[in-house]
Structure formats: C-alpha cells, structure tokens
Amino acid sequence: MIIVKNDNEIECMREAGKILAYVHEEMASIIRVGISTYEISEYGFKIIKKKGCTASFYKLYDFPEPFCISLNDVVVHGIPDRHTFLKDGDIISIDGGVCFKGYQSDAARTHIVGNVSNEIKDLVDRTKKSFYEGIKYARDGNHLHDISNAIANYIEPFGYGIVTELVGHGIGKKVHEDPEIPNFKQNTRGPKLLRGMTLAIEPMINLGVSDVNFSEEDGWTVRTNDGKVSAHYENTILITDNEPEILTI
C-alpha cells in the first residue's frame, strides 16, 4: 500500500530532508585523497547527532554503519572501513538518511576524487541527469512507471548498464515503503501518482554491464560483475499539485 502523507508528516519529512542535504554537503567538503571511508561516515554521523536526529541506515536490517560508502565498482551498500583510503582517480558514492521526529529522508551522491577520465565524469553527470529526467514525470495524475521509463530512455542511448536488481522506493515513517521504483523500462503504467506521496528515486548506472553480484563475505557489498565503475544519485521527493518538490536539496 502506498501511503499518502498529511501536512504534518510532510513538514517532518521536509526537515529530515533539509538536514540530510546539509550533511551531504558537509561530507562532500572533506573528501580528499588519503581520507578513510570510515572517517567520512563518522563525520556525517556526528553532524546528524548534533542536529538531534538519528541516522536512518544505522542498524537498519543490521547494517553496521550510519552511511553506505561505495567506491568505484561498488554499486551500493559499501561498508565504511578504517583501512580503506581514497586514492586519486576514485569515485565515491555516499548514501544515507536522516530520521526527524519519526520520519525519514534518503539521498545519495557520487563524487569524483582527483583526476578521472572524461568517460567516468560523463557517467557521474549523466546518472545525476537521469534523476532529473525521471522526475519531470513525477506529477499528480501521472503514473509511477512514467518515471522509470524516462530514466531508461535517457540512459539507454549511452550504452550504460542500468541496474535492475536494485530499485528506488517509497519512504515515510520507514526508509523503505511501497512502491518499488525501477530505473529501467516497464511494460505497465504502474500506480497512479497522487499529491502527498513521497518517493526515493535513485538511478544506479554502471559504465559496463548491468549485472551485479552480492558479497557473500560481508552480506552487503554490491559490485558490478565486470569490475567497471558505477554511479548513484538519489533524492527524496514529494508529489505536489505541480512540479515535484525535492526534499533533500
């Protein structure tokens, strides 16, 4: 069941999103060659606690850290590590959430570390652009899969792999609510979008093949099958009477 939020719930989600946007900006400001993924995650965690909030991902489904920090060929769910340090030429995806008064926000960003090829820069830029192409259709009266198809229609001509085993989702009191939001083409229209729905839309795009594998060692890390890099961009949005409101910017 897709939950439509009332005005009070939306205000809580706006605040959760505003705080998360700030946390992402602060975390981005310390990204540099030589810093550990653990240090980046802990920095964001401290800010969340100072704001009187909780980190949505910490202990969610037993995930051990407050943020997912994913490097290069890790698509999502990378576990921050004290001994993993950023190198020139890396790309780093930071995915996390903030809970404010029982309501969640969720957003992800992919950042470039130092010097990378134009091919990788384009992947990161186009992954972000695909999100904005998708939310052009996130309007009251449209259908969910209008978003999915718009993302796919933008990405497919570049020859990238669109991850199909992981999707976006509804969000509210829980980080993951109905509906699932694919980033690849659908043959159905999907549920009708209504004012007050809140969605986490998150294209995950690979430079190479779409296939991924799930780590048996830690139970979390998701990597591209061919070892090529992956980019991730996500925001929590609100369906309104007009254009969607992005809550995490």
pLDDT at 116: 98
> What band does 56 get if pLDDT is binned at 50, 70 and 90?
very high
CA distance 23 to 21: 5
The 3-state DSSP composition of the chain as helix, strand, coil percent (nearest 5) reads 30, 25, 45
- Asked if 132 contacts 241 with a C-beta cutoff of 8 angstroms, the reply is no
CA distance 238 to 13: 9
C-alpha distance from residue 232 to each of 72, 95, 106, 129, 205 (Å): 11, 8, 13, 11, 7
pLDDT at 83: 98
- Asked if 67 contacts 44 with a C-beta cutoff of 8 angstroms, the reply is yes
For the whole model, what pTM was predicted?
0.97
pLDDT tens-digit map of 15-54: 999 999 999 999 999 999 999 999 999 999 999 999 999 9
pLDDT tens-digit map of 215-249: 999 999 999 999 999 999 999 999 999 999 999 99
pLDDT at 161: 98
DSSP of 52-91, one letter per residue?
A: T-EETTTTGGG-SSSSEEEETTEEE-PPP-TT-B--TT-E
pLDDT tens-digit map of 157-213: 999 999 999 999 999 999 999 999 999 999 999 999 999 999 999 999 999 999 999
> What band does 101 get if pLDDT is binned at 50, 70 and 90?
very high
Q: Taking residues 109-128, what's their average pLDDT?
A: 98
pLDDT at 204: 99
